[in-house]
Amino acid sequence: MATQRDQWENIRDLGEGGQGKVYLVRRPVANRLRTKAIKRIENLFNSAGGGLAAGAIEDFVEDIALCGEMDDPHHMAALKEFHLEGRDQDQAIKRLEAEIKALATIQHPAILKFEDASVEERFLVTEYLPGGSLSKRIGLFKGDALRAVKALKVLVEGVKQIHDQEAIHRDIKPENIFVSGSGSLVLGDFGIVIFKNDDRLTATFERAGTRYWMAPWVDRKNRISLNKIDATLDIYPLGKLLWCMISGDDMLPREDFEDHEYNLEALFLDAPREMKRVNEFLKKCVVDKKDKCLPTVDAMLFELEGLEIALTGKREGNAQKWPCRICRMGEYEAQHTSATPNHVSVPIVMQVYQKGFGVDSQKQIYVYACTHCGNAELFYR
């Protein structure tokens, strides 16, 4: 008797881990069409002894083309079969149920798309991204701080959707992040996701995740109390992820980003201003104590927006105001000179000089200051 799993045709292995094995599979519709085409080809050759019927050659050509089309990545998916054996089978089933719930509930371009699943048959199907994991393409953003920040910001927006569902991913790292065809980042592997309001979970939960990617305030404990599970468990590795993307290295020991060996300012001497700004951001999330960490992904998105502005050196559009990245209470406003004798106030502008060429008339720097704390920033406009 055919099962739900049988609809997904195995193509090849994609990998294997502690929880199970992942296969590249063909989608059910494509599988059915391809199976029918192969059957027609077989029938054609079986009847060819008496000569081919009229139109059979054209049908043969169409079926061969159809079989090839069914190998297009759009007709494929990734199927994970779970190994639920041993004494922890009940806990493993809860993990599977939580992963299915998370992927089926959360829809965002930065979250792997859910396709199909069965707890009874122990499998889960998601979209297949042929670009592979970020760990295999860790140099994709190397040295390009602005591009890395923009890509991370979309990923953080996806994580916000997870947190809005009262869940924490807990296993953010390059191996669990995939690169889409357009080059954007997509988060997958929800194998140890926790829903904070799930009454099936006990009062404590096992220590899980990869050590160097775990926030130190939970890594030091053998088990985590559920009331200690919060957004910072994802914010800490997201900060580390930005360092990895810019450095091109897939591992940062603990919180050592300011050590000379790992300091972005030392690694990229041609971009000191940009890398200093990135380090200022990392100081707010890649930290050794929870009370130093940004508390929410909303706060992280706010900081990333400020970092993006600082890296571009200009405002987008004709915006005259922007939230202050320091105090978060005021807004940046363009600064003007005192009124001239004819009572006209003009913006304060700094000219840009090119060495050996004098003033660059195409570039002017405007001064903006926060209406609350007075923090000043310079922007091209």
Sign of CA dihedral 25, 28, 29, 34: positive
When comparing pLDDT for 54 and 369, which is higher? 369
Residue 290 pLDDT: 92
The whole-number average pLDDT for the span 141-169 is: 95
The whole-number average pLDDT for the span 160-175 is: 93
Residue 318 pLDDT: 47
The whole-number average pLDDT for the span 124-134 is: 91
On the 0-12 / 13-18 / 19+ scale of CB atoms within 10 A, 343 is exposed
Top mean-pLDDT range of 57-66, 71-80, 225-234, 243-252: 243-252
pLDDT at 317 exceeding the cut of 60: no
pLDDT at 207 exceeding the cut of 60: no
Q: Record the tokens describing residue 302, joined without a space.
A: 């706010």
Residue 314 pLDDT: 53
Its CATH class, for the domain covering 134-312, is: mainly alpha
Query: pTM of the predicted model, to two decimals?
Result: 0.73
Q: How far apart are CA 59 and CA 280, in angstroms?
A: 64
Q: What is the location of CATH 1.10.510.10 in the chain?
A: 134-312
| Topology annotation, domain 5-127 | Phosphorylase Kinase; domain 1 (3.30.200)
On the 0-12 / 13-18 / 19+ scale of CB atoms within 10 A, 98 is buried
Give the E-state strand segments of the chain in sequence order.
9-16, 20-26, 76-82, 114-118, 123-127, 167-168, 177-179, 185-187, 194-195, 204-206, 223-225, 321-323, 331-334, 349-354, 358-370, 376-380
Closest alpha carbon to 126 in 214, 14, 289, 206: 14
Residue 203 pLDDT: 41
Q: What is the location of CATH 3.30.200.20 in the chain?
A: 5-127
Residue 225 pLDDT: 61
pLDDT at 95 exceeding the cut of 60: yes
The whole-number average pLDDT for the span 319-337 is: 72
Residue 296 pLDDT: 93
Contact 364, 352 (CB under 8 A): yes
Residue 288 pLDDT: 93
Computed over every residue of the chain, the mean pLDDT equals 81
Would you tell me how many other CB atoms lie within 10 Å of the CB of residue 244? 23
pLDDT at 358 exceeding the cut of 70: no
The whole-number average pLDDT for the span 282-294 is: 94
